[in-house]
Amino acid sequence: MMQRDIHLKPRDLLNSFQFRDGDFGEIGIVSGQPQRVKLCLERLNKPVKNFSFLGYTFWTGEYKGKKITVGNGGMYSPDAGFITELLCEGKIEYLIRIGSCGSLREDIDIGSLIIPQFALRGEGTTSYYVDKDFIPRATSSLVEKLFSISKEYLPTFTGGVWTTDALLRETKEIVNSYIEKGAIAVDMVTSAFFTIANIYKKNVCAILAVSDNLITGRLGFNDFKFFESQQKMTNIVFKLIENI
């Protein structure tokens, strides 16, 4: 039988990468999609690779005098959860996620942007961290700043985001129950990202491009508006960083 309290701690993993405190920046930008990471890396001066592990890679460089860490932090709640915990353990104080989502309102079209204020936990990862009534939240000051910047670029909305593990089981009964709880969008990461950041008492926010609409049934994964919004998100996030 296992005798240790826990098999693997975040610091154990970081130590295995020869990580030292100070290797990460104060601000971290996280995305599941590598192409979004590439757009961010192009903004950094002399980025240095921090580590690569199970397909996840992080770099740290400078942007206008600020030390920034950028990497692909998971596309689903389980991998987003443990990567976010590594970043928190590595002393990053501001966590910003660039992601995508499905709209849960007819008027929020493909290519619009969502800035979540809170997340509704429909995934399984966070049940290992917090009780069932816990509601993970973004840092309100970051949401306000991000919204102020974002609305100058694209139609932008704020509200709740429902996070699910089951992409192909977004049934009307389940979807409508989360809409009634305040969700205006659905994704597969935000609740894990916010929950871990909240536990570690970090500043956290996210900006999500709308890829599809569950109300109208429209799919925009290959829509130019969706790709354009992903590019503009990079501009928005770096404008936010200038104001942190």
pLDDT tens series, the chain, 244 aa: 999 899 989 999 999 999 999 999 999 999 988 889 999 999 999 999 999 988 899 999 999 999 999 999 889 999 999 999 999 999 999 999 999 999 999 999 999 999 999 999 999 999 999 999 999 999 999 999 999 999 999 999 999 999 999 999 999 999 999 999 999 999 999 999 999 999 999 999 999 999 999 999 999 999 999 999 988 999 999 999 999 9
Domain around 63: 10-242
The whole-number pLDDT of residue 236 equals 97
Q: Is residue 1 assigned to a domain?
A: no
Q: In whole angstroms, how far apart are CA 17 and each of 20, 32, 49, 88?
A: 9, 21, 11, 15
Q: Is residue 4 assigned to a domain?
A: no
Q: Is residue 107 assigned to a domain?
A: yes
* CATH code of 27's domain: 3.40.50.1580
Contact of 80 with 191, CB cutoff 8 Å: no
The whole-number pLDDT of residue 73 equals 87
Q: Is residue 217 assigned to a domain?
A: yes
The whole-number pLDDT of residue 149 equals 98
Q: Is residue 60 assigned to a domain?
A: yes
Q: Is residue 73 assigned to a domain?
A: yes
> Could you give the number of structural domains in the chain?
1
Helix axes 77-89, 190-199, angle to 10 degrees: 30
Q: Is residue 5 assigned to a domain?
A: no
pTM for the complete prediction? 0.96
Residues near 66 by Cβ (< 8 Å), separated by ≥ 6? Answer: 25, 26, 27, 241, 244
Contact of 60 with 69, CB cutoff 8 Å: yes
Q: Is residue 224 assigned to a domain?
A: yes
